[in-house]
């Protein structure tokens, strides 16, 4: 069977789907396959091409390789090139396998039955499609990983004797985002941030630690609501804070998410809780016509059951010695793209980060990192990361408005939510985690220690109840270490001049000189 498409797609080009190449070059690997087979998939963030020059370099998300790296101008050539230099892109492979004949993969394996690349292709074909190829089981040879761990993060995995392939994919075919190894992520991983957090809290008293945990919990809950534009719902914020504090203690399943959605929403009289039974999107409505203006279109409601099952299975598989922050990335950002509920998705998305970090013992017991606060401080970066996939996804979704001005998706989009590159998301989340561990946690501990010292010095010469000391501290803080005339005329009118001087000096020594 001839699978050579070189006649039409081997010429040098300078643009590919509106993406400019650094120089005139020939498409290779996934870029070639997407182009040659007209695959309706979000383009991989990084693409490859072959130039005439003997210089390998990367620029503008293009990997430019030399003529000696050029693949054979066949389906086999470009598939092997992709696995070797670009890793596994499940979205591209799934769409490709859906349209080519199974005989084409069988021929590749039959020509190279012992090749690790052909066995990986064989395994990935059967894993993604659920179809068995007419090939005998492999009986000899070493096992090879389905996922090249020099390029992407995987789990220890389980062996597939049929292919002599170790299935180290972190998910199942229902849900399996992947993350590429980058210099940025490897630097974060080498910092052992979880151990650093444990060392930090190991130096403080149980009382300080308990108050730190309480403050950070409330800070994260407030920030999570603030991200959604809801900042004054004090009762719900406190209730949600208590829920976050229990993260990681219950198994992650649909019942648990439904329980949490109820806490997030509170009053469910005007909203159907549970999985959506209609379309969904994130965006606005056109002012006059009320037509939807989507920035992101959620997964079809018909696909939610399968997608959520896959998400929960990913959670279970990721417990097999997978990086906790990367696991949290894939699950939490996968959840927000799926958008399974009519409301509450954003807060549940951030809850999932806490759940995974706690479940995988990355977060110290009893302590929740204020991830939402770190996200809120970098809200523009957060939106950019979300859009890094949504904007590539949106043009591929065919939809029409419903009578209620929702969206009705017309094409099969499930795989778009099952398989995506979460590398940028992981780098963003690691940055947020590092900030909470290096800045927020030690700052809060330091503040509480200084506040306790301030309180002890005040009570050493002045008998004041705790509530009055709190009020005194707030007045001093608001007026940069000086008691205002209002405070001295009302709440603290009984103070003598020397007492005022002493209180202001204590505050200055405790806080002003250190911040």
The string of DSSP letters for 10-78 reads -S-EEEETTEEEEEEEEEETHHHHHHHTT--SPPPSSEEEE-SSS--EEETTEEEE-GGGPPPSSHHHH
Measured in degrees and rounded to the nearest 5, phi and psi for residue 35 equal -70, -50
Which residue of the set 78, 163, 296, 339 is catalytic? 339
pLDDT band at residue 376 under the 50/70/90 scheme? confident
171 burial level (CB within 10 Å; 0-12, 13-18, 19+): buried
Output the pLDDT for position 300: 96
* Model confidence at 134: pLDDT above 90: yes
Output the pLDDT for position 270: 61
**Cβ(177)–Cβ(420) below 8 Å:** yes
154 falls within a domain = no
The string of DSSP letters for 207-275 reads HHHHHHHHHHHHHHHHHHHHHTT----HHHHHHHHHHHHTTTSS--SHHHHHHHHHHHH---TTS--SB
* Model confidence at 267: pLDDT above 70: no
Verify that 287 and 369 share a domain, yes or no: yes
**Cβ(31)–Cβ(38) below 8 Å:** no
Verify that 201 and 92 share a domain, yes or no: no
Question: How many domains is the chain partitioned into structurally?
Answer: 3
Output the pLDDT for position 487: 76
Q: Encoding tokens for residue 30? A: 């996934």
Verify that 504 and 402 share a domain, yes or no: no
Nearest residue to 314 via CA among 356, 257, 347: 356
155 falls within a domain = no
| Structural domain of 498 | 462-514
Q: Is 180 left (phi over 0), alpha (psi -120 to 50) or beta?
A: beta
Map tokens 């979205």 to a residue.
Answer: 91
**Cβ(219)–Cβ(370) below 8 Å:** yes
Verify that 413 and 467 share a domain, yes or no: no
298 burial level (CB within 10 Å; 0-12, 13-18, 19+): buried
Nearest residue to 82 via CA among 108, 106, 111: 108
Pairing state between β 158-160 and 399-401 = unpaired
The Cα 192–Cα 464 span in angstroms is 44
283 falls within a domain = yes
Q: pLDDT tens digits for 270-281?
A: 677 889 999 998
**Helix H segments across 246-363?**
254-265, 304-318, 324-338, 345-359
* Model confidence at 365: pLDDT above 60: yes
Asked if residue 347 belongs to a known ligand binding site, the reply is: yes
271 falls within a domain = yes
Four-residue CA torsion sign, 484, 501, 446, 491: negative
Output the pLDDT for position 479: 80
Output the pLDDT for position 456: 87
Map tokens 């992981």 to a residue.
Answer: 426
**Cβ(102)–Cβ(29) below 8 Å:** no
**What mean pLDDT do residues 296-320 have?**
95
Verify that 470 and 333 share a domain, yes or no: no
Verify that 360 and 493 share a domain, yes or no: no
Asked if residue 410 belongs to a known ligand binding site, the reply is: no
Output the pLDDT for position 203: 81
Strand partners, 158: 167
Sheet of strand 158-160: strand arrangement: 144-145, 165-167, 158-160
Output the pLDDT for position 166: 97
What integer best gives the mean pLDDT of the chain? 89
pLDDT band at residue 7 under the 50/70/90 scheme? very low
To the query of whether residue 69 is one of the catalytic residues in this protein, the response is no
Start-to-end C-alpha separation, the chain: 73
Beta-carbon contacts of 439 under 8 Å, excluding residues fewer than 6 positions away, are: none
**Cβ(258)–Cβ(243) below 8 Å:** no
Measured in degrees and rounded to the nearest 5, phi and psi for residue 164 equal 50, 50
Output the pLDDT for position 461: 80
279 falls within a domain = yes
* Model confidence at 234: pLDDT above 70: no
Verify that 384 and 305 share a domain, yes or no: yes
Between helix 345-359 and helix 324-338 the angle, nearest 10°, is 160
Between helix 234-245 and helix 345-359 the angle, nearest 10°, is 30
Percentage of the chain modeled with pLDDT above 90: 58
* Model confidence at 439: pLDDT above 60: yes
Other Cβ atoms within 10 Å of 330 Cβ, number: 27
Verify that 263 and 339 share a domain, yes or no: yes
pLDDT band at residue 169 under the 50/70/90 scheme? very high
- Residues recorded for the chain: 515
Percentage of the chain modeled with pLDDT above 70: 95
Q: pLDDT tens digits for 472-504?
A: 888 888 888 888 887 777 877 888 888 888 888
337 falls within a domain = yes
The string of DSSP letters for 379-415 reads HHHHHHHHHHHHHHHGGG--EEE-TTS-EEE-S--HH
* Domain-ending residue, one of 410, 441, 472: 441
Half-sphere exposure of 236 (CA within 13 A, CB side): 18
**Domain containing residue 190: CATH number:** 1.10.3290.10
pTM of the entire structure? 0.90
Output the pLDDT for position 97: 98
* Model confidence at 375: pLDDT above 70: yes
Asked if residue 350 belongs to a known ligand binding site, the reply is: yes
Verify that 27 and 72 share a domain, yes or no: yes
pLDDT band at residue 385 under the 50/70/90 scheme? very high
Q: pLDDT tens digits for 88-98?
A: 999 999 999 99
**What mean pLDDT do residues 113-137 have?**
96
Output the pLDDT for position 231: 59
Asked if residue 343 belongs to a known ligand binding site, the reply is: yes
Asked if residue 317 belongs to a known ligand binding site, the reply is: no
CA distances from 140 to 19, 112, 115, 117, 152 (A): 44, 14, 12, 15, 26
Output the pLDDT for position 322: 95
Q: Encoding tokens for residue 474? A: 């707030």
**Helix H segments across 100-205?**
102-111, 116-129, 183-190, 193-202
Verify that 215 and 244 share a domain, yes or no: yes
* Model confidence at 183: pLDDT above 90: yes
3-class secondary structure, 449: helix
Asked if residue 19 belongs to a known ligand binding site, the reply is: no
pLDDT band at residue 4 under the 50/70/90 scheme? very low
* Domain-ending residue, one of 57, 76, 100: 100
223 falls within a domain = yes
Verify that 377 and 478 share a domain, yes or no: no
**Cβ(342)–Cβ(276) below 8 Å:** yes
DSSP state of 303: G
DSSP state of 300: P
Verify that 496 and 408 share a domain, yes or no: no
Asked if residue 349 belongs to a known ligand binding site, the reply is: yes
120 falls within a domain = no
- Across 38-52, 138-152, 238-252, least confident range: 238-252
**Cβ(173)–Cβ(128) below 8 Å:** yes
Strand partners, 180: 152
* Domain-ending residue, one of 65, 100, 135: 100
DSSP state of 485: H
Nearest residue to 406 via CA among 292, 240, 235, 282: 292
């Amino acid at each position: 069977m001839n699978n050579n498409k070189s006649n039409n797609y081997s010429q040098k080009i300078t643009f590919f789907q509106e993406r400019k190449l650094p120089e005139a070059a020939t498409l290779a690997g996934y870029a070639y396959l997407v182009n040659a087979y007209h695959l309706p998939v979000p383009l991989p963030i990084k693409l490859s091409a072959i130039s005439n020059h003997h210089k390998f370099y990367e620029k503008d998300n293009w990997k430019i390789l030399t003529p000696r790296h050029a693949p054979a101008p066949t389906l086999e050539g470009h598939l092997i090139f992709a696995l070797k230099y670009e890793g596994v892109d499940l979205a591209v492979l799934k769409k490709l396998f859906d349209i080519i004949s199974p005989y084409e993969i069988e021929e590749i394996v039959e020509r190279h039955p012992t090749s690790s690349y052909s066995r990986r292709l064989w395994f990935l074909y059967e894993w993604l499609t659920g179809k068995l190829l007419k090939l005998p089981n492999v009986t000899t040879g070493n096992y090879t990983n389905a996922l090249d761990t020099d390029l992407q993060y995987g789990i220890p995995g389980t062996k597939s004797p049929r292919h002599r392939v170790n299935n180290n994919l972190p998910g199942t075919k229902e849900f399996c985002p992947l993350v590429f190894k980058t210099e940025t992520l490897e630097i974060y991983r080498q910092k052992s941030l979880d151990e650093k957090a444990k060392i930090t809290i190991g130096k403080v008293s149980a009382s300080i630690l308990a108050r730190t945990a309480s403050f950070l919990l409330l800070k994260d809950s407030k920030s999570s609501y603030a991200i959604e534009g809801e900042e004054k719902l004090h009762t719900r914020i406190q209730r949600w804070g208590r829920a976050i504090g229990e993260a990681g203690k219950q198994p992650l399943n649909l019942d648990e998410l439904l329980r949490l959605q109820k806490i997030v929403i509170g009053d469910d009289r005007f909203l159907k809780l549970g999985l959506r039974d209609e379309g969904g999107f994130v965006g606005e409505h056109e002012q006059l016509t009320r037509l939807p203006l989507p920035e992101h279109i959620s997964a079809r409601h018909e696909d939610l059951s399968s997608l959520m099952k896959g998400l929960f299975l990913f959670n279970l598989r990721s417990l097999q010695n997978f990086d906790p922050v990367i696991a949290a990335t894939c699950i939490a950002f996968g959840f927000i793209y799926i958008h399974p509920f009519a409301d509450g998705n954003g807060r549940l998305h951030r809850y999932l980060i806490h759940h995974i970090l706690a479940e995988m013992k990355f977060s110290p017991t009893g302590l929740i990192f204020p991830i939402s606060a770190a996200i809120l401080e970098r809200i523009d970066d957060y939106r950019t990361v979300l859009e890094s996939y949504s904007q590539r996804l949106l043009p591929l979704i065919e939809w029409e408005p419903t009578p209620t001005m929702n969206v009705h998706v017309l094409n099969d989009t499930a795989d778009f939510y099952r398989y995506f590159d979460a590398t940028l998301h992981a780098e963003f989340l690691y940055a947020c985690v590092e900030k909470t561990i290096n800045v927020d946690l030690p700052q809060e501990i330091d503040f509480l220690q200084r506040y306790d010292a301030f309180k002890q010095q005040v009570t050493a010469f002045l008998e004041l109840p705790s509530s009055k000391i709190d009020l005194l501290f707030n007045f001093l803080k608001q007026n940069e270490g000086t008691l205002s005339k209002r405070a001295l005329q009302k709440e603290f009118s009984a103070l003598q001049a020397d007492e005022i001087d002493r209180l202001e000096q204590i505050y200055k020594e405790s806080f002003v000189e250190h911040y």
